[in-house]
A and B are shown apart, each in its own frame.
Chain A
């Protein structure tokens, strides 16, 4: 019987059928961060349990850690120092690899995991963070879990999971210049709503995905959770193999050859049937920006704010009205042109080297508008060093951006009393969540691609990068 890509990975990881759709699934790789990881390790220590396969487990610090230059293992986040201290103290004795503050491999889990070749095609991968689905871009089955599921995996190297149904999203056509992976995923969520992928393992396919480099695929899969999906994934191909070759934890020699041969068998069989299929035409896709407080509140950048009262369903209508009140935009208003006081390039969605290169191409020879606080936080220490080797940091700095150390930073810390934008600010961000208060108290966040964020930082208002004239001397 023909099988989908997801079903092949699933079948290769079933330890036991637990009945009524539930299975015990082997976990090939597991990452811990200092928030959920600290809780899991503390519980394990308190109960006198042991970590079954520490060699398959990795840890780093990303959530609570400050990203300001000269940082130490401390944070302004209330309660955060306890997480940093307990995590760093507890992880070592279990024999788990730990990429701490001063390790050149430190960074956001979903940036470093593929960068290190720690997660490979056909693997199962979990982490106590919802954006773990990002790493499905390398052809893995990757999903986020809570502290208790993480603890379960530390002790048993397995997870209990209900088998998700399969959904294929066909991104047809090719992207126009100036349109990026972020625009693809925002448009998809807007079209099918934030729970359009609920209950599914989502495979991203089609011409526009096949031609995306790995960094773009990681952006796409990153927001599968914003679409309700258990995971997002892209079947491995030559782009995947070239990306993974010779990474620190990638297999070598005969193991590499055997692995590639296995990875080539993973793509869906030609006649495989998905439980559901969606299609989005990329040839007419415009850069996207969100107006509201859910990623589904996304529109083409030249579009106007939709009327919340136009929603047919009363609960959707009230939810959209509440969002409109929060962001203080009226129906029919242009989103493009709204003044901003903050711009953020970073997060597990868009902080990789391709993102920084694309933003730097916009910023080169230009200046951030007066009154805009612009911040760039590379996703990993390795990405930061690569960018510095290419001189990108100078472009960001000369434009007026802060150039920070690697971590999650303002993507989420505003919600936790850590690094945040000032109360009531309107900001544009390359992140994944425009939730209420996510980037600071009553901060209104507009999500967009790194080039849209860069262009907006220069304009001092939400701007379309395609409208920028070539800078002088370029």
Chain B
């Protein structure tokens, strides 16, 4: 999957200030799991976005203008906890969300974000709360500058963040991780050759095939 580069983006920010928003809520499994990596935007937050009888839930933030165009999502601690399903990141990305800003993230979710051009930005709890408090239906435009690692709030307050260099470079350039790692093949081969002498049982997988 070639990722869309992320350098500096300006757009609508929405606050969904709940803790422990799990990947089951981000993409409920019943919204159409497909053996593919795109086309999941419709299922984003399905159980919250739509009423059980059908139709949009008018109270849900992403159903209200201007937040239908949300590019940055603010949330409570432990966003993306739960299942490892990458569908959760694909749904956010396909909806148009470029970054999620929260005090902490599920570890697997954060890794999945880096693989798909979505920035998981961790800020202290009070900073996330201050940002969230600024967002209103009248003031909602934020800028995320990944090259400088700063967020510009609707009132132009700056918040600094840090994303590890490797992941940041991948986001900035939209790089495919597999191609980059394959260039290290000699190192991988050398590691295995040395390791097979030290831990031979790791590489001798006996047992029956099928």
Does A pair with B?
yes
Which residues of A are in contact with B by a Cβ distance under 8 Å? 12, 15-16, 18-22, 24, 26, 28, 35-36, 38-39, 42-43, 49, 52, 55-56, 77-80, 82-83, 86, 97-100, 103, 116, 118, 120, 122-123, 128-130, 143-149, 151-152, 155-158, 160-162, 164, 193-195, 198-199, 225-226, 228-230, 248-249, 251-252, 255-256, 258-259, 262, 294, 296, 313, 315-316, 318-319, 322, 412, 415-417, 433, 435-438, 441-442
Task: Say yes or no: A26 contacts B166, CB within 8 Å.
Answer: no
Closest partner residue, chain B, to A154 (CB atom): B178
- Chain B interface residues (CB < 8 Å from chain A): 1, 17-20, 22, 24-25, 28-30, 32-37, 47, 52, 76-78, 81-86, 89, 104-108, 111-112, 115-116, 125, 129, 164-167, 177-178, 181-182, 184-185, 187-188, 191-192, 195, 198-210
Does A78 lie within 8 Å of B32, measured CB to CB?
Answer: yes
Smallest CB gap from A442: residue in B: B52
Q: Across the interface, do B177 and A152 meet the contact criterion of CB distance under 8 Å?
A: yes
Q: Which residues of A contact B201 (CB under 8 A)?
A: 120, 251, 255-256, 258-259
For A122, the closest partner residue in chain B by CB is: B199
- How many angstroms between the C-alpha atoms of A158 and B125 in the bound complex? 34
Bound-complex Cα distance A194 to B35 (A): 31
Q: A123-B202, A416-B33 are in contact. Are A160 and B166 (CB under 8 A)?
A: yes
Collect the chain B residues with CB atoms within 8 Å of residue A162's CB. 164
Asked if B20 and A416 make an inter-chain contact with CB atoms under 8 angstroms apart, the answer reads no
A8, chain B: closest CB distance, angstroms: 13
Given the interface pairs A156-B178, A251-B204, A415-B29, the reply to whether A146 lies near B17 with Cβ below 8 Å is: no
CA distance A225 to B109 in the complex (A): 12
Establish whether residues A319 and B165, one from each chain, have CB atoms under 8 Å apart when the complex forms.
no
Q: How far is the CB of B89 from chain A (nearest CB, A)?
A: 7
The reply to whether B111 and A436 contact each other, CB–CB distance below 8 Å, is no
Q: Are A157 and B204 interface neighbours, CB within 8 A?
A: no
CA distance A42 to B177 in the complex (A): 17
CB distance from B160 to the nearest CB of A (A): 16
If the complex has contacts A255-B204, A259-B201, are A36 and B107 also in contact, measured as CB distance less than 8 A?
no
* Known contacts A128-B84, A255-B200, A435-B24: A195-B178 contact under CB 8 Å: no
Which B residue sits closest to A124, measured CB to CB? B202
Contact of B164 among A21, A118, A258 (CB under 8 A): A21
Q: Shortest beta-carbon distance, B166 to chain A, in Å?
A: 4
Residue of A97, A160, A256, A319 near B20 (CB, 8 A) is A319
Cβ A36 vs Cβ B85 within 8 A: yes
A143 and B108 CA atoms in complex are apart in Å by 9
Please judge, given known A-B contacts A26-B191, A83-B35, A148-B86, whether A20 and B182 are in contact too, CB under 8 Å.
no
